Structure 1
Amino acid sequence: MTSTGGFVSETGSLRAGPFDLGYTIEGRGMPLLIIGSTIYYPPTFSWKLREKLGLIFVDHRGFAPARTEYASGDIGFETVLTDIERLRAHLGLERFAILGHSGHGYMALEYAKRHPGRVTRVVMVGTGPSHSARHMALADQVWEETVSPERKAIFERDMAALGTDIAARPEDRFKSLLIRLGAKSWHRPDFDAAPLWLDVTVNNAVFDHLWGEVFRDIDIRKGLSTLKAPVLLALGRSDYLVAPASTWDEYRGNFADLTVRTFEKSGHTPQLEESELFDEVLLSFLGSRPGCG
């Protein structure tokens, strides 16, 4: 254990097939399991949250170092969900809230469907209903019809440099893409996200499969009837990476308990862009209904 920002921080890893899945525990209080990278995600959440919650950051296979070569059978969605259960058991978690940002929101939701007795709350941040062609076309339509010429100019400038980035570091093509998509990702279109990605392991094949295929075809309605835990959907007004908030309307009736909150001065990552308001909304949601123990 080490001391970070005044809090005890515990780190470790769990071997899962070819991968070493890292975990980091920071803070105290109600456990909140956050799926994604144990390097990228901790800096995006405020230190004040650590005073109220025990934040448990866990890697999935897209962000985990691989000790050996891996095949397509090692990176399926069901395998990723099984890994979350492995980590839960390894960490001794009994009842907890779960959070997923962007595509990780699907992981959080699908895990909760499969383990309703474990999950008290589900939080999806910056997640669209799917990455289908229809939903992505609607995102493009909002971009074309509502975005300022200044933001579009920044986007064109940054995308023009993407090819050079990938040619120089092909192994970092996913990271390079997300950094260059800043005008679609952040409320402030010239925000430089590169420091957040330093030292982050990215397995491109995992993202190609999950983001390019699984989340393209996903139907989140399946299995929702088993999920009684309240769900918070946190969206940024300036998020042009995913389908617009209005696309969630046709799904609302499928949730037993859904709260939707739009952050007016955020893009894809409201927990960082409007951290104080995000903390308030999150803590209120986690403590506002029965079953959060």
Structure 2
Amino acid sequence: MTTERYASYDGTSLAYRVLGPGPDDGPHGGTGDGGGGAAPVLVCLAGGPGRDAAYLEDLGGLDRALTLVVPDLRGTGESQVGVDPAGYSFPRLAEDVEALRAHLGLERIALLGHSAAAVVAQAYAARHPERLSRLVLVTPGTRLQDRPTADAQEIFHSRSDEPWYPEAVAALEKLATAHELAEIKRLLTRVAPGTYGHWGPRQQAHAAAEGDQLHPVPRAAFWQGVDDAARRAVADALGGLAVPVLVVTGDRDGASGVAAGGVVAAQFPDARHTTLPGCGHYPWVDEPEAFRRLVAGFVAGG
């Protein structure tokens, strides 16, 4: 796996990696729908916001069935830092995705957004619906829809008998008012057990990397400059999206919960909401096989 680069709409040099089939069956050319025997292409966006895409890994082995194109969003990973902080807002990040699609030479792409990046993916769908073949939103929140849900806290607190809970719940209370990134990183590490389906060695190793993968400016600027009218315009446009949408949630997700998935799915004319048992906020980490089957089948047309 090698890192490749492209120039976005303003000349910023951004990085991406291709996982899965080799160059002969890769993403350069065609529709992105898997025609002519090529594996379907799925562009995968990392959340955080402002987190390196490395945490997506291979999305539970999803690259066995699909060609995954995994960009480092502006200011993260190996991508260049943007000159204008406004470029980190989610509508502008969607334009980086469009520049990537054009660079790949694809007529249309299937697009996956995890957590905060589900907002970027929805902004892309609103602005470039003709460029999408399928949309996958994994453990999204509802800030874009301005419809808060409460079940994430219920899920988190339902695990009060687990040994990590006392320290995690104390950190969760402090996280609501934390502003310094160093403090946020420390608290996220302590809260992490409540965001996974189980807290084993695999989950612990995945969570331990988060602090070093977060970037303060992209994180802080994600929602900046997006007023209520602009936010509503994105959400309203999604009611006319004519492509299939899959919303994936985990029944043990103490970060976003399950109800948020229903709210997000309800705005689309052709969406299905699937909740994976035993999964938290990172379902490819908790139940990789179930996640892989679900997403690969959907992107391939199932």
> Shorter-chain-normalised TM-score: which range?
0.7 to 0.9
Identify the match of residue 276 of structure 1 among 289, 296, 301. 289
Question: In structure 1, the residue corresponding to 2:74 is in which secondary structure?
Answer: coil
Identify the match of residue 250 of structure 2 among 214, 229, 236. 236
Identify the match of residue 148 of structure 2 among 135, 141, 158. 135
Are 1:259 and 2:272 counterparts? Answer: yes
CA distance in 2, matches of 1:187, 1:181: 13
Hey, what does 1:224 align to over in structure 2?
238
> How big is the shift at 1:285?
1.2
Question: In structure 2, the residue corresponding to 1:260 is in which secondary structure?
Answer: strand
In 2 relative to 1, CA 156–213 (structure 1 residues): closer, same or farther, beyond 3 Å? farther
Question: In structure 2, the residue corresponding to 1:268 is in which secondary structure?
Answer: coil
> How big is the shift at 1:147?
3.3
| Equivalent AA in structure 2 for residue 95 of structure 1 | R
| Equivalent AA in structure 2 for residue 35 of structure 1 | L
CA distance in 2, matches of 1:93, 1:173: 42
Question: In structure 1, the residue corresponding to 2:254 is in which secondary structure?
Answer: coil
Hey, what does 1:26 align to over in structure 2?
19
Identify the match of residue 206 of structure 1 among 205, 218, 222. 218
Question: In structure 2, the residue corresponding to 1:223 is in which secondary structure?
Answer: helix
> How big is the shift at 1:12?
1.4
> How big is the shift at 1:134?
5.9
CA distance in 2, matches of 1:239, 1:286: 23
Hey, what does 1:40 align to over in structure 2?
55
- Percent identity between the aligned chains? 26
CA contact (8 A) 2:252 2:280 kept: yes
Hey, what does 2:166 align to over in structure 1?
153
TM-score, length of structure 2 as denominator length: 0.75
| Equivalent AA in structure 2 for residue 98 of structure 1 | L
| Equivalent AA in structure 2 for residue 30 of structure 1 | P
Gaps of 5+ in 2: 22-38, 47-51
Hey, what does 1:83 align to over in structure 2?
96
Question: In structure 2, the residue corresponding to 1:94 is in which secondary structure?
Answer: coil
Identify the match of residue 59 of structure 1 among 36, 49, 72. 72
CA contact (8 A) 1:131 1:211 kept: no
Question: In structure 2, the residue corresponding to 1:148 is in which secondary structure?
Answer: coil
Gaps of 5+ in 1: 1-8
CA distance in 1, matches of 2:172, 2:263: 33
Identify the match of residue 132 of structure 2 among 119, 130, 138. 119
Alignment coverage as a number of residue pairs: 271
C-alpha RMSD of matched pairs (Å): 3.5
In 2 relative to 1, CA 131–213 (structure 1 residues): closer, same or farther, beyond 3 Å? farther
Higher strand proportion: 1
| Equivalent AA in structure 2 for residue 178 of structure 1 | L
TM-score, length of structure 1 as denominator length: 0.77
Hey, what does 1:181 align to over in structure 2?
191
Hey, what does 1:93 align to over in structure 2?
106
In 2 relative to 1, CA 20–134 (structure 1 residues): closer, same or farther, beyond 3 Å? same
Question: In structure 2, the residue corresponding to 1:56 is in which secondary structure?
Answer: strand
| Equivalent AA in structure 1 for residue 198 of structure 2 | R
In 2 relative to 1, CA 225–160 (structure 1 residues): closer, same or farther, beyond 3 Å? closer
In 2 relative to 1, CA 221–189 (structure 1 residues): closer, same or farther, beyond 3 Å? same
In 2 relative to 1, CA 196–68 (structure 1 residues): closer, same or farther, beyond 3 Å? closer
CA contact (8 A) 1:18 1:70 kept: no
CA distance in 2, matches of 1:68, 1:288: 37
Of stretches 62-71 and 251-260 in structure 1, the one that deviates more from structure 2 is 62-71
Are 1:13 and 2:5 counterparts? Answer: yes
CA distance in 2, matches of 1:85, 1:92: 11
Hey, what does 1:5 align to over in structure 2?
none
Question: In structure 1, the residue corresponding to 2:197 is in which secondary structure?
Answer: coil
CA distance in 1, matches of 2:241, 2:173: 44
> How big is the shift at 1:283?
1.8
Question: In structure 1, the residue corresponding to 2:129 is in which secondary structure?
Answer: coil
| Equivalent AA in structure 2 for residue 182 of structure 1 | A
Of stretches 52-61 and 85-94 in structure 1, the one that deviates more from structure 2 is 85-94
In 2 relative to 1, CA 195–148 (structure 1 residues): closer, same or farther, beyond 3 Å? closer
CA contact (8 A) 1:103 1:211 kept: no
